[in-house]
Amino acid sequence: MSLDGYLGHKNRLRSARGFTLVEVLVSLGIVSVALLAGIRATDNLANNSQRLVDVLLGQICAENQLIKVRLSKSMPDVGNSTFLCEQGGRNFLGTMDVTTTPNPSFRRVDALIKDGDSVLIKLSTVVGRY
């Protein structure tokens, strides 16, 4: 075997040995960072999705209370009241606040929906004399 053939054979063996430990560790580090970023993104999406469901159910509760006020055919009494609302298998605590307006023929009605200590949504409307 000639010297050129021997060196070519030795170079092929060296290139076919595989990756070094440092290369494998660097690639594992890169893959782990990418996977952690994906897990965080998935967790954020799940949390935002649950928050969206909660706000939607709270909005339905608030709209139902405001519709009841509009359909009652009488001016609501000024003051605060609380109510419970069940939507989607969940119980929400609501507060309805009725206040006067500069025009005595109208009242402002605010419906505030809470889930525990956090406020989910607040809807307001104005109700007039019928």
In this prediction, residues 73-88 reach a mean pLDDT of 91
Residues 6+ apart with CB under 8 A from 125: 66, 69, 70, 108, 109
Q: What percent of the chain has pLDDT over 90?
A: 67
Please state the pTM of the whole predicted model: 0.68
For the chain, the domains span 3-128
Query: End-to-end CA distance of the chain, in Å?
Result: 109
Per DSSP, helices labelled H in the chain are 3-15, 21-71
- Provide CATH code, domain 3-128: 3.30.1300.30
Summarised one tens digit per residue, pLDDT across range 8-57 is: 555 555 556 788 999 999 999 999 999 999 999 999 998 899 899 999 99
